[in-house]
């Protein structure tokens, strides 16, 4: 087999270097967007910031549960149980992409209190082994001011942030009738070509932030 010439090797090296730089730039942009909109993953009170207190974590789990159409804190429930219930609901969420080894989970958008992953295309986390039965017990750690087994005092819970109401569509104005052409001129019709859905799986951060839902 003929070996690559020095020129060919140099070209391939430059191509790999360019690809790495483009990937790094894309990841930096994605991280900037997540930070800009304060998007959050499971158990985070801010972007890339784990909840620091028991009350902070309870508060964010309650917001997640509301977004997932799940019930609020139950009578006699502990933080550990609340967190586990939130995690299970995330894995069952319709827009979570679950795989045998890798799962993609959309990030929580505190602005509109939904799991839309922020501005389109939405952002999310790639989590390895998320479907394993011991994932939660292996990775979840309670904040330093509790052990997670204390019963939550429902009377002292803070009010959840309001949910933004969807804007009503503006009334349509009836346009004037079009006058048909009077000469034999072919009509020109424009067709919109939808953008292909972006399915990037490059990850970074604690579990790997991505934009879009992986297809494999």
How many Å apart are CA 167 and CA 165, to the nearest integer? Answer: 6
Distance of CA 195 to the CA centre of its chain: 20
Distance CA 116, CA 108 (A): 7
Helix (H, G, I), strand (E, B) or coil at 73: coil
pLDDT tens digits, residue range 48-85?
A: 999 999 999 999 999 999 999 999 999 999 999 999 99
Q: Which residue has the higher pLDDT, 180 or 204?
A: 180
Q: Output the pLDDT for position 190.
A: 38
Domain membership of residue 62 (yes or no) is: yes
The residues pairing with 106 across neighbouring beta strands, listed in sequence order, are: 124
Query: What is the distance between the alpha carbons of residues 118 and 111, in angstroms, rounded to a whole number?
Result: 9
Q: In terms of Cα–Cα distance, which of 39, 66, 50 is closest to 125?
A: 39
By residue range, what is the domain housing residue 102? Answer: 9-158+201-211
Q: Is 216 a domain residue?
A: no
Residue 25: per-residue pLDDT = 62
Do the domain assignments include residue 130? yes
Cβ atoms 107, 205 nearer than 8 A: no
3-state SS class at 82 = helix
184 found inside a domain: no
Domain count, the chain: 1
The 10s digit of each residue's pLDDT in 132-170 is: 999 999 999 999 999 999 999 999 999 999 987 644 445
Measured CA angle at 121 (ends 118, 124), to 5 deg: 60
* Mean pLDDT score across all residues of the chain: 78
3-class DSSP state for residue 137? helix
Please tell me what DSSP assigns to residue 189. -
Helix (H, G, I), strand (E, B) or coil at 84: helix
Considering only CA atoms, which of 48, 65, 92 is closest in space to residue 152? 65
């Amino acid at each position: 087999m003929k070996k690559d010439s020095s020129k060919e090797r140099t070209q391939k090296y430059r191509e790999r270097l360019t690809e790495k730089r483009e990937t790094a730039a894309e990841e930096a942009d994605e991280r900037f967007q997540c930070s800009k909109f304060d998007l959050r993953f499971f158990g985070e009170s801010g972007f890339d910031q784990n909840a620091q207190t028991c009350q902070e974590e309870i508060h964010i789990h309650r917001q997640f549960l509301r977004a997932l159409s799940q019930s609020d804190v139950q009578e006699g429930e502990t933080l550990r149980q609340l967190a586990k219930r939130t995690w299970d609901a995330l894995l069952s969420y319709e827009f979570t992409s679950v795989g045998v080894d890798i799962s993609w989970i959309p990030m929580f958008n505190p602005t509109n209190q939904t799991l839309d992953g922020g501005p389109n295309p939405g952002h999310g986390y790639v989590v390895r082994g998320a479907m394993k039965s011991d994932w939660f017990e292996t990775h979840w750690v309670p904040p330093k001011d509790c052990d997670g087994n204390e019963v939550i005092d429902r009377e002292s819970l803070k009010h959840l942030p309001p949910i933004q109401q969807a804007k009503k569509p503006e009334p349509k104005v009836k346009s004037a009738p079009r006058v048909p052409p009077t000469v034999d001129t072919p009509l020109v019709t424009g067709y919109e070509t939808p953008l292909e859905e972006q399915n990037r799986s490059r990850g970074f951060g604690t579990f790997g932030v991505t934009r879009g839902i992986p297809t494999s």
